[in-house]
Structure 1
Amino acid sequence: MQNQDYPALFQAADTGSKRTQWYHHLTVKGYLGCLIIGACFSFYGINNSTLAIVAAVVFFIALALSILITTKNFENSWYNCRALAESIKTSTWKYMMRAEPYEDCDDVQIVKSEFRNLLKGLLKENRELSSDFAGEVSDKEQVTEFMNTVRNMDLNDRKDFYLTHRIDEQRTWYTKKSKENSDKKALWFGLLILFNFLALILVILRIKLPHLPYFPVEILVVISGACLTWMQVKKFQELSSAYSLTAHEIGTVRGEIENVDTEEEFSDFVNDSENAFSREHTQWLAKRIH
């Protein structure tokens, strides 16, 4: 499914999540970059007015970014927008698959009304995120034509659609993200070890060759600290483990669709699958907050 096939509120929350995530990472990278540049100034010294002005600008930017990171709290907005988007996505799939609480009934308008009421409740609970939402989708449909088209499919077609476009796509996504985070963790850990090792070598050389003027140990230490901070910000190891576990859980759930023959059984299957997806996001949000 494409983003435009989901409710407008999902599109807004998803865009808000991506935007605030980008802001958070940009401000953190900018702050760490200023610290590294500042360490270079501290090491080489400030010998003229031009360098003094540049150094002052760098430290002012670092100060401004630290205040911005604390006051704007892009990280918290990112987490909450992501959680809202995933809640809406889960309910959307339940609606399309006619799963509880959106089972088939004589008047589909009743089901649509229940779904819209859910969105109203979620919007009311997350009003503080309104400034992060994408205004350009506010005039779009909450129950899209594509959602109703899928909902009108017969049981077998819905089973195939759910298996292909939800179960398998999510399993592939989690598997891919698990490997990506594992690779990035190895890369940044390697850089951390490298810069610490170089700092150690320079300290030893300073003992052996005290007459040499330049030993940029401080710069390497700051770079090492920046690597460690970035690893903590991105949480590569935690995400890799969580994504891998969810991918295996989805694989376990996937096989159960072979035993689904009725609408009631399919409803239970969809709810079990969506609970698996929701569990990963709930745990992710809880870890981020605490």
Structure 2
Amino acid sequence: MPKPTAFLNGEFTELENAKISIVTHAFNYGTGVFEGIRGNWNKKKNQLYIYKLEEHISRIMKSAKIMRLESKYTEEKMLDIIIDLVKKNDYKEDIYIRPIIYKSSEVVGLRMHDLDDEFLVYIVPFGDYLDPSKGINCGTSSFRRIDDSMIPVRAKVTGLYVNNSMAKTEAYLNGYDEAIMLNMDGHVSEGTGENIAIIKDQTIISPTVSDNILEGITLETALDIADKNLNLNIERRTIDRSELYIADEVLMTGTAAHITPVVSIDKINIGNGQPGTITKTMQEKYFSIIKGEDDSYSNDLTKIYS
């Protein structure tokens, strides 16, 4: 097994030597954008698959544009760097890939202009983020989801995730697995690292982008599965908090979280308090997709090992 390797300052280097200065602007002010990308190991096929890698790269570039960050690399070059890095690390297990474009100048001062930009990537082994089998218990957070007029929520901004982290810790201290964040108008927005959707009367409903959600890649796949495989109606609209309690099923989606059933919210059972049958069916389909077992989505997969 090779030593863990990262990409920093234009070159591959051992992860333990991948360091930045404590004066780095992004470290002090959260001036960076990132992606979370999973590599999914299929032991039977002896293969590592990355799902929708190109979409993740496209999203980080859009995040960078919104935040006035300039990437040194094209999307194609970034793709090559990530694939090469995954191969160099030679993991035979599920992994998490974290690319970041950030303000690298060593300077004190609040601004986004007249600063250098840099790109890095690192990889870590990564198992289940939330429990996909038993389902999770959620609590509505007192911390409201940040508004797009404050920090652009379409961008995965490093500094923005203090908002999410506070909500996550509040949920943990209150005995929940995850938080549900409302927007500034009091409507359902998302989890701390996941999109949320409800199922009611054979319709899957998700909040709109104007509810300050991240435009989730996994959410789009979940909605596609619901439409094409389960013949559910798809609805995107504002969701009230009270609707969560009387939904037939509630689920969270995300690269880290996959498709995870929510079994209770604010100590109120969703349905019978067990993972819903529709969510479980969607989950099984999703796992077969990301592990390269479903040929209908093969064009969305990047195979790492030849």
Q: Would you call these one fold, judging by a TM-score over 0.5?
A: no
TM-score by length of 1: 0.27
* Structure of higher CA gyration radius: 1
Larger helix share, 1 or 2: 1
Q: Which has the higher contact order (CA 8 A, sep 6+)?
A: 1
TM-score by length of 2: 0.26
Larger strand share, 1 or 2: 2
